[in-house]
A and B are shown apart, each in its own frame.
Chain A
Amino acid sequence: MKDTAILLEHVSKSYRLSHQPYSSLKGILLSMFRYRRRIEVHQALNDVSLTIRHGETVGLIGVNGSGKSTLLAIIARVIRPNAGRIEVNGRVAPLLQLGVGFHPDLTGLENVYFNGIILGLTRQQIAERLPSIVRFAELEEFIDTPVRAYSSGMVLRLGFAVAVHTDPEIILMDEVLAVGDEAFQHKCLRKIQEFQHEGRTILLVSHDMNQVRQVATRTVWLHQGRVMADGAPEEVVTQYLAFTEEMERRAI
């Protein structure tokens, strides 16, 4: 396998933001009578170049709207950049947010199959990994119950269990750990450490600086779609915190 897991070269992405979104016929009709259409182009990513090697755990930090989620979406091939080149070597598994991809009327088991297949497993592979998935999610008694009856923690555990069993080379986590309880967060952190030992690549978007310091081997700070700093977590987090403090002081 190549040494590089993810390669981004001069990647840019802009969204067209209209203040009067044309998501309805009424919107279109109304806009015809307006003097000027107010369409703004929001530059979500601006000439971002990054090389991430296999086995790295990269923490992505930055204020809201800095382009972290867009970056993950581009790596997950969900969004196509306007400019630049992107290369991803290895299977990517995004960790889904609470409840995404789950159907409330179906049982836990049926949802495991659906989730597994959408993340790229075959039925056969899911059947083989099923006992392990159920054990990890601690849902042995409830696996044949409709997900509607689950608590949010149970849904979260099941989603995480499926994702970590897809055997991905690259794992994308967008604030997914923020929701679980203490015990679940510990379990996830242990799993992340296990992945790190196995040499998998992890991209972690987080606002929890302690978590970033704890698990990341490298941290990238994005601001207004640009890479502000890239390096050791301790240094980058310190720079970032100094920056946000400065911002707060100016706001007051």
Chain B
Amino acid sequence: MWNELRELYRYRELLWTLVLRELRVRYKNSYLGFFWSLIVPLVTVAVLTIVFKRVMGMVIPNYSAYVLAAFLPWMYFQTALLDSSQSVLAQIQLVKKVYFPREVLPLAAVLANLIHFVLALLVFFVYLLGYVGAPLLPSVVLLPVLVFFQTLLIAGLSLIISCLNVFYEDTKYIVSIGLQLMFYLVPVIYFSEQVYHAQLASPEWQRWIYLVYHLNPIAMLMTAYRKILLPPITVQQIGAVQKQTFASLPMDWGLLAVACGVSVLIFVLGYAFFNKRKWDFAEQP
């Protein structure tokens, strides 16, 4: 593993060139260019806000800020995985001819999306301070930590997915379906507090459901993004039968540590898996 990482470091200039190429190519033929990376989340969040406030009856001040705080990391997760699933296969002709550490291909896709994510976060802060007028919390200093562990998680998954997709092209379809389902298993359109107070659950089960739900590292990371970026909030939902109120829960640091640990583990395992198979890529007919 260390040898592979050292070789990767030797090829860092190639990795960086690939990242720049991805960024350049993505919006090369569009007039609005990078703004598409902002328009997509902003339009999505606007629609979600209208639906959840007006139709579903969520009473939350600045709901859109809370959605955006989780939706941007979700976009990063989703687009990075989808982009990287094709990354090796798209360059298979090059892979068959030239020696270079194969992991630069999926990693470049991840890093290009990381840059988009960071730029989107800057816009988020402008929105937060300018439009919403919310004060910046001191816990914002933890943001780079979350981004770091999320990137490790994404990189680990990307290595597995891009490798499998060379041998089985079904992988990209499975990933795409998996992501669509996963969207409902992470707190973007709802709040983790609502999971805690899940309907049907007797009080002694609540804690367990909350725990199991957050063992999914991406779900925990997104709960964490919300909690470090925005002040705690009391969620009110006006349902057909009764009005429900969900008090804010404090950040569960233990669960966050588990999520970070799982992210590191997935990266290590993903890289080991990729390394085991990466010299078979060129043999694919």
Residues of A within 8 A of B169 (CB): 23-24
- The stretch that binds A, out of B24-32, B125-133, B230-238, is B24-32
Residues of B within 8 A of A28 (CB): 168
B184 within 8 A of A: no
Whether A76 touches B97, Cβ cut-off 8 Å, given contacts A21-B285, A23-B167, is yes
User: How many residues of chain A have a CB within 8 Å of chain B?
Assistant: 30
- Contact between A78 and B13, CB atoms less than 8 A apart: no
Which of A25, A92, A106, A118 sits near B94, CB closer than 8 Å?
A118
Residues of A within 8 A of B168 (CB): 22-25, 28
Residues of B within 8 A of A226 (CB): none
- Contact between A80 and B17, CB atoms less than 8 A apart: no
B21 within 8 A of A: yes
- Contact between B97 and A78, CB atoms less than 8 A apart: yes
Within 8 A of B (CB), among A12-44: 15, 21-25, 28
Within 8 A of A (CB), among B1-51: 13-14, 17-18, 21, 24-25, 28-29
- Contact between A24 and B99, CB atoms less than 8 A apart: no
Residues of A within 8 A of B283 (CB): 15, 79
Q: Which single residue of chain B is at the shortest CB-CB distance from A79?
A: B282
Which of A24, A25, A78 sits near B282, CB closer than 8 Å?
A78
The listed residue with most B CB atoms (<10 A of its CB), out of A22, A76, A78, is A78
Whether A25 touches B98, Cβ cut-off 8 Å, given contacts A79-B283, A80-B279, A106-B25, is no
- Contact between B100 and A118, CB atoms less than 8 A apart: yes
- The 0/1 profile, CB within 8 Å of A marked 1, for residues 143-181 of chain B is 000000000000000000000000111100000000000
Report the Cα distance A28→B284, complex, angstroms.
16
- Contact between B97 and A106, CB atoms less than 8 A apart: no
B93 within 8 A of A: yes
Give the distance to chain B from A124, nearest Cβ to Cβ, in Å: 10
A145 within 8 A of B: no
Give the distance to chain B from A189, nearest Cβ to Cβ, in Å: 22
Give the distance to chain B from A133, nearest Cβ to Cβ, in Å: 16
- Contact between B97 and A94, CB atoms less than 8 A apart: yes
Residues of A within 8 A of B100 (CB): 118
- Contact between B93 and A100, CB atoms less than 8 A apart: yes
What number of A-B contacts does a CB cutoff of 8 Å give?
Answer: 73
Report the Cα distance A101→B14, complex, angstroms.
13
Within 8 A of B (CB), among A30-81: 73, 76-80
B207 within 8 A of A: no
B188 within 8 A of A: no
Give the distance to chain B from A210, nearest Cβ to Cβ, in Å: 26
Which of B13, B21, B29, B96 sits near A123, CB closer than 8 Å?
B13
Give the distance to chain B from A30, nearest Cβ to Cβ, in Å: 13
Give the distance to chain B from A184, nearest Cβ to Cβ, in Å: 20
Residues of B within 8 A of A101 (CB): 93-94, 97-98
Within 8 A of B (CB), among A106-129: 106, 110, 113-114, 117-119, 122-123
Binding site for A on B (CB under 8 A): 13-14, 17-18, 21, 24-25, 28-29, 93-100, 167-170, 279, 282-285
7 contacts between A and B (CB under 8 A): A22-B168, A23-B168, A79-B283, A106-B25, A117-B13, A117-B17, A118-B14
Nearest 6 A-B pairs (CB), nearest first? A77-B99, A25-B170, A100-B93, A78-B282, A105-B28, A117-B17
A-B contact sample (6 more), CB < 8 A, given A78-B96, A117-B17? A73-B97, A78-B95, A105-B25, A117-B14, A118-B98, A122-B13
